[in-house]
Structure 1
Amino acid sequence: MAHEDPIVEVIQFVSTEQCLGNPSLFQALRDVVQGWQEKGLKGQYWGATVVKPNNIYWVLFWQSRAHAAAFAADPLYPEFVQRRQSLATTAVRDLYAPLSGNPQLCVEAPITEVDFYKVHGACIEEEHEIGHSAMHHLRSLQPQGFTGSSYGVVHEDPSIGVYFAGWNSVEDHMRIAIK
């Protein structure tokens, strides 16, 4: 495969009660993905949101978009997607974005903030830049408990951006969020 920049796949879904009650169901899917470590998977992380514990984020770090596409082209992928959807009460959201900086620092923090945002208007690139400037400003402030941030534009829809921030605690995040 030709050299490409690394890409992050963000999978989000609302889990079923069965998934919450039987963690081995989700673990089996993570094991399938882990089998791709020799084929371009650089790491995977997952977690539930603090406010809604059935809202799951699963983050896959791929060596490149081509490696992620090879996983999606695998003959067993449709079964994987079906099994993944069976763990969700809503449609699974699955997006790819090259992220700035070191997004792995964000997901390795005790608390990871994941936000999707949509820009509107004729100048999508300029609107993304306004958001990125605000994120750079937060990074420059180095608030207590902040471990880093990363952002990027979603491949499938350039009007959507994704933002990660790492925090040492929910309290550290909330101190900034309510200002």
Structure 2
Amino acid sequence: MNAPIEFDYDAALAACSRGDQHALRSIYDRDGRHLLGVALRIVRRRQVAEDVLHDAFLSIWTRAGSFDPGRGAGRGWIYSVVRHQALDAVRGSGREVQADADALDSLGAAPGADDGIADAFERRQDLGRLHDCLVGLDEAKRSSILYAYIDGCSHAEIAARMHSPLGTIKAWIRRGLRALKECMG
């Protein structure tokens, strides 16, 4: 029995840079649902995650020529494109408040709901402050924290993704969390 053939992401990206649409399709067929999961964990809404994935694949197609195998693995580069696209979508929504009809009804329907409204308002304010504090961090600390707390990556996985030593990743997370705590103070 033959062993399964390992997918060559680097070769697929090189083929994309030459205009081979089948190569892009093979990346999508192989990893599309996992990449959708990455986007969904960050943006938290299926429709937005699907839009993110679409935009990420357009970016992969147009920027495949900029991939440098000497700087990292092709698979990591692809996942990185999706992750950055999702983070950009979150940043772009900025202060936009999303609420469905049930949530709006529950805020104003019950007598004494004012406490719930005040709590919801306070949570929304805290999220806005957190966003502002995250934006204030340097890219390395912010990315390390987001990998850990949004993507659920271990320190070792973050080190591999960011091509940095494990100790450095731990220090970035520790310092970044300390800065967030001070900022949120």
Both structures adopt the same fold (TM-score exceeding 0.5) = no
Pick the structure with more strand per residue.
1
Q: What is the TM-score with the length of structure 1 in the denominator?
A: 0.24
What is the TM-score normalised by the length of structure 2?
A: 0.24
Which has the larger share of helix?
2
Give the number of the structure with larger relative contact order, counting CA–CA contacts within 8 Å between residues 6 or more apart.
1
